[in-house]
Amino acid sequence: MLILLPPSEGKTAPASGPPVDLESLAHPGLARARRRVGDALAKVSAQRNAYDVLGVGASLGAEVERNRTLWDNPAAPASAVYTGVLYDAAGAAHWTGADLEHAAERVRIVSALWGAVSPSDLIPAYRLSMSTSLGRIGPLASFWRQHLAAELGHLAHGRLVVDCRSSSYVAAWRPAGIPHVSVRVERELHGRRTVVSHMAKHTRGLLTGALVRADAVPETAQDLADAARTIDGVIDVTLTEHELTLVVAA
C-alpha cells in the first residue's frame, strides 16, 4: 500500500536543526529538480511581486520572507513540519519511531517544492503551492509531472495506491496501470450528503493515521474499505472501481 498525501498550507518552522540535505531525502533522483525549484522560489520571494506570484496576502509576509533563506533554515521531519487538519487528525507530530518507520514505507507527501517526500525526511518550512507558476519553470504541476512518473510509478508498482490528495496535487502524478483508489468524504445532514473541505481533510487524516499504525496494511481496495469502516465517525462506505467514499455524520 502507498498513501499519497498533499502537504499542508500551514507549516511549523523548526526552531533548530541542520539545513535540508537534498541527497538524503527520499527519491534522491529528484535532487536537481528540487534545487531548481528551491532556487527559483528563493529568488521570486525576494521580488516586489512575490505575493502575487505566490498567491498569498501580506499577512503571510513572514513565510514569504522565510523562503528567501530556504537553504539555510533549520529542517525537521516532514511529519512535524506539515501541520493542519489532515496531519493533526493523523496524529503525525506524535508518531512513534515505529510509526515513522511504517510511514516512511507507506506514505509519500506530494509537494510543490520537493516533488515527493517521506514523512521522516528532514525539510524546512516554506510557502509554495502546486497551483503556482514559478518563473521560467512554469506551472509546477506540469514540471513535476515530468519527474514523478518514474519515481512514484516505480515505488507504487505492485501496491495499492490510496490517494488522499487535492486536485492540484493529483495533477502532478496520476497512477496509470496501477491499482488505485481516491478517497472522497461526504457529510450527511438531514438525509443530504455534501462535501465539506474541513471534514474531508479530518477524515482522510484519521484514515491515514490508522493505516500508518496498522500492523498489516490493505492489499486490495476491498481491504481498504473494510479498514475504513472502523474509523470513528464513518457511518457508510461505498467502493467503486477507483473511488472510496466515506460518509460521516455532521
pLDDT digits (tens, 9 = 90+) for 215-242: 989 999 999 999 999 999 999 999 998 9
pLDDT digits (tens, 9 = 90+) for 68-90: 999 999 999 999 999 999 999 99
How far is residue 32's CA from residue 37's CA, in Å, rounded to a whole number? 9
How far is residue 130's CA from residue 20's CA, in Å, rounded to a whole number? 20
pLDDT digits (tens, 9 = 90+) for 17-52: 999 999 999 999 999 999 999 999 999 999 999 999
Is 62 a residue whose pLDDT tops 90? yes
Q: Could you tell me which residue, 10 or 231, shows the higher pLDDT?
A: 231
* Confidence (pTM): 0.95
Closest CA to 123 of 164, 83, 182: 83
Total structural domains within the chain: 1
How buried is residue 169: exposed, middle or buried, by Cβ count under 10 Å (0-12/13-18/19+)? Answer: buried
Chain mean pLDDT for the chain: 95
Model confidence at 195, in pLDDT bands (50, 70, 90)?
confident
How far is residue 179's CA from residue 132's CA, in Å, rounded to a whole number? 29
pLDDT digits (tens, 9 = 90+) for 44-58: 999 999 999 999 999
Look up the domain containing 169 and give its range.
2-249
